[in-house]
Amino acid sequence: MAVDAPAGFNRTFSYSIPSELDIIPGHLVAVPFGARTLFGLVFSIAENPKVIETKEIFNALFPSPILDRIQLDLARWISVYYMAPLFSSASLMLPPGFRSGLKEVLTISQNNNVVLNKNLSKSEKQVLALLQLEDGIERKLLLKLIGDHAGKDVQCLLNNGLIKKNYYWWPQTGKYKKSVKLSMELQYKINETLEQLSKKAPKQAALISYLAKQRSDIVSLSKLSKTFGYSSVKALQKKNLLEITNVQIEEGPLAGKIFPSDNPHELTFAQYQAIGKIKNAINDESDSNKIFLLHGITGSGKTEVYLNAVQKCIKKGKRAIILVPEISLTPQTIERFASRFPGEIAVLHSKLTQSQLAHQWWSIKNGRYRIVIGPRSAVFAPQPNLGLLVIDEEHEWTYKEEEQSPRYHARGIALKIAELNGLTVILGSATPDISTYYHALNGRICLLELPSRINIGQKETKQLNPLDKGLPSVTIVDMRKELRDGNRSIFSRALLSNMEVTLNRGEQIIIFLNRRGSATFVQCKNCGYSFRCRNCAVGLTYHREIDSLLCHYCNKKTLLPKECPKCQNVNIKTIGFGTDYVVESIKKYFPTVKILRWDRDTTKSPKAHEILLSTFQEHRADILVGTQMVAKGLDIPNVTLVGVVSADTGLNLPDFRSGEKAFQLLSQISGRAGRGVTMGTVIIQTFQPDHYAVNAVASQNFLKFYETEIVYRREYRNPPFNRLIRLLYTNANSITCESACSALANILVTERDLSGFLGIDILGPTPSFPSRLKGYYRWHIILRGSKPELLLNKIMVPRGWTIEVDPVTVM
């Protein structure tokens, strides 16, 4: 059994099953653990326990097993692979907020005899008296009624056997509302009843005729009581003419929304070929080719392939899960699924309330929806009879859980589920993860290509070059040359003139800069003092709107001082710029155009994304300035120009994936241009025009990028040629932090040499980036090898270390 307590990964505990309980693997139970009562999840049942003494399970919390055999296997695998406790690995598949549902209920025992009762204390009698009134009372409530001091009385009574305790689980399942409907009985004799009532009880008669006229056969009790009086409702209920029931309020995020209906497109040849293979995988259980990489440039019709595949899956009577990188940034994807499959979509969303989440989860478990759309955690949605799992933009790093254990990757989970239950997986991307593409070229994943944009045939032919795939034309502008030629503006001449032309044609523009705020650095002009966060080892960013300095790591706000804290000079300058500064600069050149800004500062309210999107979509603004938030799924045909103010942020980060990440982001943002019938233009400004990632974006050639990158990966023994495990240590004291790291590194080196795992590299310890975060110093060690976990499994990693298997950042 896995128990909900901190424990080493894959650690289980043995319990005995009381003879009256019928327990099988997958059952969620309450178990004693030390002095506490905790959740336990039964993984296997043995005739003879491994330990001599076992405690008894209290009781099962849910009548049927909450996890099935495949889910239990998956939890075991997560625990071993990602080195996380078994219960927390399984908890990814339990209902949201399950922990708040465990309740201890006290009841009077049968053998409550008078003789014993005589010796009871006054307060013990008080407890008994209260329990006698009710069938059972939750311990918490009882202590609230009598006072906490009654805790020991309860314990005495339990020990004497005068009262019993039992554990129950009432997980939240959504909101319910008391509703009223006409009873079956009444429906047959409605006219005569109305006639009888109309004289004696006109209010009741009015109520019945009101209900009879309603379209929906359930009406809220509180609404009816307000109009007709609660007593009328009750009177009718007594006569069996009305029924009062608890009705679940539909709380899905799509509830009440209406989507334009949408019919499947006639497929292009490339789409048709792709679907052919996917269809075989879905229909033929024995087909071993079940994992696909759908590689298609932006606008090549990948989503249409997903839609089609889902249709095939539904036709087989199965269900689907669609993963998207971030729900709020991909409203258009959800809209397309909701239009094609009205009423069939559940959406899991990090911004849902606990009750909405719970409602979606239980509805999914009960088989209410054919399709679930959600972020990485939706890979664990309890979708029955799952046949297809799609991961859109599979290269996105949001699919990796980085904050808390288990630090899983949704792609890793999807592939494991596929292995366990034979479902079909489609990984889709315009710029696949280097490792995914490597496995596709090597045949471990089936590669499907969509080589050109859908609407290529409709483009203005004069602009179309036959080798073209309908992608926008990309120009790289060397900002060093702009400076040399005396242009000190943040915009190159090429970008400015293209903006003017585009605006004159009534078309729209997206300007991208991966940095928010007004200035990146703030520095004293006299002594060079630069303003840095006190908690994090990073510079502070100036935000004009709040006239303050902000740390982008810990969010701490400080007022901009009037003078330098070091030399008291009043000349303080700002260096670098962010999205807010870009907006101000555009206004100087084009004072009358309407500009929108889309970044973390302008999207604090939950509806902000939707509002910004529709404003821009309906052309109530000409220019959209934004961070990577605008790079994701935007499909706005009237956008014909994309300008990247600086491609340099991120290019030189100390991470072997910085080139890959820059390439993905720049390709994605370029793909926002020219999605309609007019050809698009992309202008990328950079101080490093020769960087291989920038070059590959210019030629819009993924394969070219891949071929350069894979050589670096092989040379430096990085993934996909090896696997990495990162060990991160944080401490408020820098010396403690460093010495803890050296100590572990020494242990690792000694163990490696002893056990002969010479193929495993131990990199570091080195400071992580940023080297201090929210007041904590950060150091890390990286293990690299084909099986780095072999070394780690040999030693005891001390407390306080974070273990990250297959990390997506190694800075």
Which whole-number Å values give the CA distances from 595 to 151, 372, 615, 616, 640, in the listed order?
Answer: 63, 35, 11, 9, 16
Question: At a CB cut-off of 8 Å and minimum separation 6, what does 311 contact?
Answer: 264, 340
From Zn ion, ligand ADP, none, interface partner of 536 (C-beta below 5 to 8 A by class): Zn ion
Q: In the set 454, 479, 741, 781, which binds ligand ADP (CB under 6 A)?
A: 454
By beta-carbon proximity to ligand ADP, the closer residue of 364 and 440 is: 440
By beta-carbon proximity to Zn ion, the closer residue of 93 and 551 is: 551
Number of residues that bind Zn ion (CB under 5 A): 6
d(CA 260, CA 338): 9
Eight-state DSSP code of residue 461: G
CB of 617 to ligand ADP, least distance (A): 13
From Zn ion, ligand ADP, none, interface partner of 267 (C-beta below 5 to 8 A by class): ligand ADP
From ligand ADP, Zn ion, none, interface partner of 303 (C-beta below 5 to 8 A by class): ligand ADP
CB of 339 to ligand ADP, least distance (A): 10
* Strands of the sheet with 723-731, listed across from one edge: 761-773, 776-785, 723-731, 801-805
From the list 21-29, 298-306, 376-384, 757-765, the region that binds ligand ADP by CB under 6 A is 298-306
By beta-carbon proximity to ligand ADP, the closer residue of 454 and 513 is: 454
Residue 271 interacts with ligand ADP (CB under 6 A): yes or no:
yes
Q: What is the H or E stretch that residue 33 is in?
A: strand 28-33
Which two structure tokens, joined as six digits, stand for 310?
């889902």
- Are 546 and 531 in contact by the 8 Å Cβ rule? The answer is no
Site string for ligand ADP, 62-91 (x = CB under 6 A): ------------------------------
Burial class (CB in 10 A: 0-12, 13-18, 19+), 786: exposed
Give me the sign of the Cα torsion angle 162, 167, 173, 174.
positive
From ligand ADP, Zn ion, none, interface partner of 554 (C-beta below 5 to 8 A by class): Zn ion
Residue 535 interacts with Zn ion (CB under 5 A): yes or no:
yes
Residue 4 interacts with ligand ADP (CB under 6 A): yes or no:
no
By beta-carbon proximity to ligand ADP, the closer residue of 27 and 302 is: 302
By beta-carbon proximity to Zn ion, the closer residue of 503 and 554 is: 554
d(CA 220, CA 538): 56
CB of 459 to ligand ADP, least distance (A): 13
Task: Write the DSSP string, 288-343.
Answer: ---EEEEEE-TTSSHHHHHHHHHHHHHHTT-EEEEE-S-GGG-HHHHHHHHHHSTT
By beta-carbon proximity to ligand ADP, the closer residue of 307 and 737 is: 307
Q: In the set 279, 302, 416, 713, which binds ligand ADP (CB under 6 A)?
A: 302
CB of 440 to ligand ADP, least distance (A): 17
Q: In the set 141, 143, 190, 267, which binds ligand ADP (CB under 6 A)?
A: 267
CB of 272 to ligand ADP, least distance (A): 9
CB of 264 to ligand ADP, least distance (A): 8
Residue 304 interacts with ligand ADP (CB under 6 A): yes or no:
yes
**SS3 at position 88:** helix
Number of residues that bind ligand ADP (CB under 6 A): 15
From ligand ADP, Zn ion, none, interface partner of 553 (C-beta below 5 to 8 A by class): Zn ion
Distance between first and last Cα of the chain: 37
CB of 779 to Zn ion, least distance (A): 18
Strand pairing of 15-16 and 55-56? parallel
From the list 261-269, 507-515, 522-530, 712-720, the region that binds ligand ADP by CB under 6 A is 261-269
Residue 394 interacts with ligand ADP (CB under 6 A): yes or no:
no
Question: At a CB cut-off of 8 Å and minimum separation 6, what does 249 contact?
Answer: 174, 175, 176, 177
From ligand ADP, Zn ion, none, interface partner of 262 (C-beta below 5 to 8 A by class): none
- Helix, strand, coil in percent for the chain, rounding step 5: 35, 20, 40
d(CA 716, CA 639): 40
What's the distance, CA 170 to chain centroid? 25
What's the distance, CA 658 to chain centroid? 23
Query: Between residue 541 and residue 560, which ones bind Zn ion under the rule CB under 5 A?
Result: 551, 553-554
Residue 301 interacts with ligand ADP (CB under 6 A): yes or no:
yes
By beta-carbon proximity to ligand ADP, the closer residue of 271 and 360 is: 271
Q: Which of 793, 798, 792 is nearest to 736 (CA)?
A: 798
By beta-carbon proximity to Zn ion, the closer residue of 533 and 636 is: 533
d(CA 788, CA 427): 26
From the list 260-268, 363-371, 686-694, 801-809, the region that binds ligand ADP by CB under 6 A is 260-268
Give me the sign of the Cα torsion angle 14, 17, 21, 24.
positive
Burial class (CB in 10 A: 0-12, 13-18, 19+), 677: exposed
By beta-carbon proximity to ligand ADP, the closer residue of 670 and 686 is: 670
Contacts with ligand ADP by CB under 6 A lie at: 265-268, 271, 296, 298-304, 454, 635
Contacts with Zn ion by CB under 5 A lie at: 533, 535-536, 551, 553-554
